A and B are shown apart, each in its own frame.
Chain A
C-alpha cells in the first residue's frame, strides 16, 4: 500500500531513499510512528534493559 499526501520533513537523501522503495511519508504516518516509539519507551524501562544486557554473560 502506498500513502499519498504531504511529505513529512526529512532530508532530501532520506526522501529519495524512501521514494526509491515507493514510500511516501505523511504527517499522519509520522504520528503513528511517534505513537509506536512512545509506547516502546513507556513499556521498556532501564531496569529491563540492564537485565537483558546480562544475558549470555557471567553476570546472568
Chain B
C-alpha cells in the first residue's frame, strides 16, 4: 500500500539528528503534521537505526516511528531494480529506499542532515536539508 498522505520521508541522518535534539527536524515534522499530512520512515532505514542505537536511542526511535502520524514504509519487491540503481548511485540501501519512498508520493520530500550524500539530487527540491 502507498501512503499517499506522507509528505516527508526521514532518512537515517534525520533520525539521528532527532535523537540529538535537532530543532530543524522537530519543526519540520511539526509543520507537516499541522498540514494534516504524515511523515514516513522506510523500514530499511528503521532497521539500520535500531541496530545502531543504544537503549535510550531505541526508546526515542520507538516514539518517533510509533507515532500515529508516522508511516513505516515497506520496501517493495517490485522496486528491486530501482533500489539497486539508487544504491549504486548513493552508496547506501537506506538512502536509496528513502529516495524511492519520497519520489513515489505525489508531494513527498526527503528530510536529511546529510544533503551532500545525495549527489545530483541535492540540487533538486526533493532533498530538504536540516
Contacts and interface: CB of A to CB of B under 8 A. Distances in A.
Interface of A: 1-3, 8-11, 13-14, 16-18, 20-26, 29-30, 32-34, 36-37, 39-44, 48-49, 52-53, 55-57, 60
B104 A18 contact: no
Contacts, number: 122
Contact of B26 (A25, A36, A55): A25
Given A21-B60, A44-B124, A48-B124, A30 B27 contact: yes
Interface of B: 7, 18-34, 59-60, 63-64, 67-69, 81-86, 89, 99, 103-104, 106-107, 109, 121, 124-128, 130
Given A29-B23, A30-B31, A44-B126, A49 B69 contact: no
A21 B21 contact: yes
A56 B63 contact: no
Given A29-B27, A57-B82, 14 more contacts: A1-B23, A3-B23, A10-B30, A18-B26, A18-B29, A26-B27, A33-B28, A36-B128, A37-B7, A37-B32, A41-B107, A49-B106, A53-B103, A55-B85
A37 B128 contact: yes
